[in-house]
Chains A and B, each alone.
Chain A
Amino acid sequence: MATGVAAWLPFARAAAIGWMPVANCPMPIAPRDNSRKQDELIILNVSGRRFQTWRTTLDRYPDTLLGSSEKDFFYNEETKEYFFDRDPDAFRSILNFYRTGKLHYPRHECISAYDEELTFFGIIPEIIGDCCYEEYKDRKRENLERLQDDQEENKDLKQPNLNFRETMWRAFENPHTSTLALVFYYVTGFFIAISVITNVVETVPCGTTTNQKDMPCGERYTVAFFCIDTACVMIFTVEYLLRLFAAPSRYRFMRSVMSIIDVVAILPYYIGLVMTNNEDVSGAFVTLRVFRVFRIFKFSRHSQGLRILGYTLKSCASELGFLLFSLTMAIIIFATVMFYAEKGSSSSKFTSIPASFWYTIVTMTTLGYGDMVPKTIAGKIFGSICSLSGVLVIALPVPVIVSNFSRIYHQNQRADKRRAQKKARLARIRIAKSGSANAFLQSKHNGLLNELLELTGSEEDEQKLIKSISLLKSQHHHLLRCLEKTTAHEFVDEQVYEQNCLETALQTYPSHSSSIASHDSPAVTCCGASGKKNTPLPNANLPLANPVPSHRGPLQELSALHIQSADPLSHTSSRSNLNLRTDESKRINCKSGRITTAIISLPTPPALAPDADGLHGPPQRRPPPPLGHPAAPSIQTTTSSAGTNIVKVSAL
């Protein structure tokens, strides 16, 4: 039952009294209305704006949110109102729906926002009133098209595992997917151009030869032209066969316009090969050569504008048909009139009505060659009427075609613009996202450093570093940290990660570095041993807040080890180490703001024994290497300004 007229139900039930006297059997018992509360005012608080309505108004539509018990979820006991955290402007039309029974679509509203509101309140958009329904549907369709365009883009990008055939097809359809496709695209374009130019040049007279006849180039340099033609046709054939092979649906491909053009372009050549020097059909053969000009249509794969034009003409078929029909009508009428008008005059060129067609066409399109002109007065009068009306008849359907073209063209432009904008948009979004990731990593730093400073008790740095991180952020970071702990991996900065990869790639010290690099990181985990805090080893660094580009250079030649020396938290017990380190860090701080600390040398793998306590390694073994090592590795350390020590060792 349409609940829109629920208000009339009591009336309808009352009117059922009229059936009672004629009924033969007893009536069923009426349902008891136990919830007979008085009609009361309900307050709906939508984001602060209070709407009030009767309960019965809302009860009219019991299968929506407001009409059912679902709204009880939003009931606020203290204020005795229903609170919805939604857009109050959109809510107006929704509440009006309950009041008037008609749902209207406000035009200034964004279509997807409005849709969301409708979905939230459980109202189906189909009941939008006739006054607004068309607008709603148009906007929705536009939006969908836009989304579809975007999705197609995404589809193109995210297709990792295509088989060879599909890759080839994609390469054909979209030349920008790979270099090979692009090369192929340009090569075919080039050969199409060559082929067309050859066709044209073939007919140009090439200067006189010994037999005093002005021969066209085609006949003079037959072999050359034949070779060029052959080459082009070879390319086209190969292309066609490849496309045919790669097409997902061969039957559909064969029926498509482009493939027909391809076939028509290369067929004359083969037919010509087959029928050589046969007198009877040489005339037909010559006409076949005409079809070679269709090769120029192959350019439509290369030009979007051409495609749009073709699509426009297709979509304006009815207007074009009308144009043709009206022109034909006018031509016949005027040709007849001119013929009979000019019949009297002698040596009239208007020998028959079909002959007058030519005059009419030339006049109506305002060409006016002048090869046929009326001589009688009547003829001249009708001739002028003909030319005047010609302008009108042609001008009428043209704007429709033009507007169609313009609409499709702009649609395409919009798609291109969106594609271009999209890249920029995604880049910006990525920056924002990485900003938040960096924030996490940064805060990890700060967190560690905070704890470090707490332990060491240096005041001035502490002030600097204890920024107020919002509760939300800290909770989020905690969450990420839990994830790290769970997976025994850490989040690192992008550059650092790349460096790590590079290092593992450039294994000049295979045994040591690789062993250390590869199997330390998993070995040392937060839960690794003795409840240490997260201690990443060689290949897992705390990221640099200010990544220093200088280590790019040395990296090229060497493998490097990244060791995190600043991990005092790992050992609450070994205070001495801590102190040692902080002393050093303090010392080093006095330098040019960069903390350098000692270091490990590569040739002493035992020094970097991958034990759980390996992180003690660095500090303890710090002294020996600089002393006794012939091949003293150059030490390069960089740290973030926050003071965490990340030691990078590059060995020469």
Chain B
Amino acid sequence: MSTVRYRPEGLDNLVQQTNFSKKELQVLYRGFKNECPSGVVNEDTFKSIYSHFFPQGDSSMYAHFLFEAFDTHNNGLVSFEDFAVSLSIILRGSITDKLNWAFNLYDLNKDGCITREEMTDIMHSIYNMMGKHTYPSMRDSAPKEHVDRFFQKMDKNKDGVVTIEEFLETCQKDENIMHSMHLFDNVI
């Protein structure tokens, strides 16, 4: 266990920063602090927590990408503020915020556009979580095909990368995506 101890800013500050109510933040923090008594999450803990939810497959890659997305300060640790802020975006933000967040997740090098390689990595990580035992059985080409489909849909100007504008535009036009973005709104 790391000896890093981290105390979040006051509850009121967090209430202002995020869209959570006081009570919700309390619940969040209690869960967070219980699992990570030191107050911060490092990547390994993050990965192990996430792997509990996906026992059949290997979720370490996706967890890594998630961690990168949560670790807004890029210091290898996710503090409670980062955690709360990100969750606030995901759960209580506007649709644009959510899509921005998703884009940020996919954009591994944070350069503003999603390349095919980045997307392939993401896709692989998602498919890895499925594991071997699937129906129909997992073909090795499945992620690649999925990436192709994605680029076909998103890459309007066919320049091989997906920019944030293309992304937002396409998503907002897609009903399914719009609907599913609200799916987890009342998780907390």
Chain A residues with CB under 8 Å of chain B are: 1-2, 4-5, 7-27, 29-30, 33, 38-39, 54, 56-57, 99-101
Q: A8-B53, A20-B180 are in contact. List 9 more A-B contacts (CB 8 A).
A: A1-B53, A5-B35, A10-B188, A14-B184, A18-B105, A21-B106, A27-B179, A30-B183, A30-B184
Tell whether B176 is near chain A: CB-to-CB under 8 Å.
yes
Residues on the B chain within 8 Å of A8, using CB: 31, 35, 49-50, 52-53
**Do residues B180 and A23 form an inter-chain contact, with CB atoms below 8 A?**
yes
Interface residues of B in 11-58 (CB under 8 A from A): 23, 27, 30-32, 34-35, 49-50, 52-53, 55
Interface residues of B in 78-94 (CB under 8 A from A): 83, 87, 90-91
**Do residues B90 and A22 form an inter-chain contact, with CB atoms below 8 A?**
no
Residues on the B chain within 8 Å of A20, using CB: 102, 177, 180-181, 183
- Least Cβ–Cβ distance between A41 and chain B, in angstroms: 12
> Given contacts A1-B53, A5-B35, A33-B186, is CB(A18)–CB(B66) below 8 Å?
yes
CB-contact partner of A15 in B32, B90, B103, B177, under 8 A: B90
Residues on the A chain within 8 Å of B53, using CB: 1, 5, 8-9, 12
* Chain A residue, CB-CB nearest to B103: A21
Residues on the B chain within 8 Å of A16, using CB: 183-184
- Least Cβ–Cβ distance between B131 and chain A, in angstroms: 14
CB-contact partner of A21 in B35, B50, B171, under 8 A: B171
> Given contacts A26-B180, A27-B180, A38-B23, is CB(A18)–CB(B102) below 8 Å?
yes
**Do residues B55 and A1 form an inter-chain contact, with CB atoms below 8 A?**
yes
In the complex the two chains form, what is the Cα distance from A100 to B66 in whole Å?
A: 25
Residues on the B chain within 8 Å of A13, using CB: 184, 187
> Given contacts A5-B52, A14-B90, is CB(A25)–CB(B176) below 8 Å?
yes
Q: Main SS of chain A's interface residues? A: helix
**Do residues A14 and B177 form an inter-chain contact, with CB atoms below 8 A?**
no
Tell whether B108 is near chain A: CB-to-CB under 8 Å.
no
* Chain A residue, CB-CB nearest to B55: A1
How many residues on chain B are close to A (CB under 8 Å)? 46
The residue among A16, A21, A27, A101 with the most chain B CB atoms within 10 A of its own CB is A21
> Given contacts A21-B167, A22-B123, is CB(A2)–CB(B187) below 8 Å?
no
21 A-B contacts (beta carbon < 8 Å) = A2-B55, A5-B53, A7-B30, A8-B31, A10-B31, A11-B83, A15-B66, A17-B90, A17-B98, A17-B102, A18-B69, A20-B183, A21-B177, A22-B126, A23-B177, A23-B180, A24-B149, A27-B176, A27-B179, A56-B27, A99-B34
Per-residue 0/1 for B134-154: is the Cβ within 8 Å of any A Cβ (1 yes, 0 no)?
000000000000100110000
- Least Cβ–Cβ distance between B31 and chain A, in angstroms: 3
Chain B residues with CB under 8 Å of chain A are: 23, 27, 30-32, 34-35, 49-50, 52-53, 55, 62, 65-66, 69, 83, 87, 90-91, 98-99, 101-103, 105-106, 119, 122-123, 126, 146, 149-150, 167, 171, 176-177, 179-181, 183-184, 186-188
Residues on the B chain within 8 Å of A4, using CB: 52
In the complex the two chains form, what is the Cα distance from A27 to B178 in whole Å?
A: 11
In the complex the two chains form, what is the Cα distance from A39 to B25 in whole Å?
A: 12
Residues on the B chain within 8 Å of A9, using CB: 53
* Chain B residue, CB-CB nearest to A8: B49
**Do residues B66 and A14 form an inter-chain contact, with CB atoms below 8 A?**
no
CB-contact partner of B126 in A1, A19, A33, A38, under 8 A: A19
> Given contacts A7-B35, A11-B87, A100-B34, is CB(A22)–CB(B181) below 8 Å?
no
Residues on the B chain within 8 Å of A27, using CB: 176, 179-180, 183
CB-contact partner of A54 in B30, B66, B180, under 8 A: B30
- Least Cβ–Cβ distance between A62 and chain B, in angstroms: 15
- Least Cβ–Cβ distance between A184 and chain B, in angstroms: 63
CB-contact partner of A10 in B149, B180, B187, under 8 A: B187
> Given contacts A21-B171, A26-B180, A100-B34, is CB(A14)–CB(B49) below 8 Å?
no
* Chain B residue, CB-CB nearest to A38: B23
Residues on the B chain within 8 Å of A12, using CB: 50, 53
* Chain B residue, CB-CB nearest to A7: B31
- Least Cβ–Cβ distance between A251 and chain B, in angstroms: 46
**Do residues A22 and B146 form an inter-chain contact, with CB atoms below 8 A?**
yes
**Do residues B90 and A23 form an inter-chain contact, with CB atoms below 8 A?**
no
**Do residues B52 and A2 form an inter-chain contact, with CB atoms below 8 A?**
yes
Residues on the A chain within 8 Å of B180, using CB: 20, 23, 26-27
Nearest first, the 5 closest Cβ-Cβ pairs linking A and B are A7-B31, A27-B180, A2-B52, A10-B187, A20-B180
Residues on the A chain within 8 Å of B150, using CB: 22
In the complex the two chains form, what is the Cα distance from A29 to B87 in whole Å?
A: 20
The residue among B27, B30, B184 with the most chain A CB atoms within 10 A of its own CB is B184
In the complex the two chains form, what is the Cα distance from A430 to B184 in whole Å?
A: 67
In the complex the two chains form, what is the Cα distance from A101 to B49 in whole Å?
A: 12
In the complex the two chains form, what is the Cα distance from A26 to B35 in whole Å?
A: 33
The residue among A22, A29, A100 with the most chain B CB atoms within 10 A of its own CB is A22
Residues on the B chain within 8 Å of A7, using CB: 30-32, 34-35
Residues on the B chain within 8 Å of A57, using CB: 34
In the complex the two chains form, what is the Cα distance from A29 to B62 in whole Å?
A: 23
**Do residues B52 and A1 form an inter-chain contact, with CB atoms below 8 A?**
yes
Residues on the B chain within 8 Å of A30, using CB: 183-184
In the complex the two chains form, what is the Cα distance from A14 to B184 in whole Å?
A: 6
* Chain B residue, CB-CB nearest to A22: B150
**Do residues B181 and A17 form an inter-chain contact, with CB atoms below 8 A?**
yes
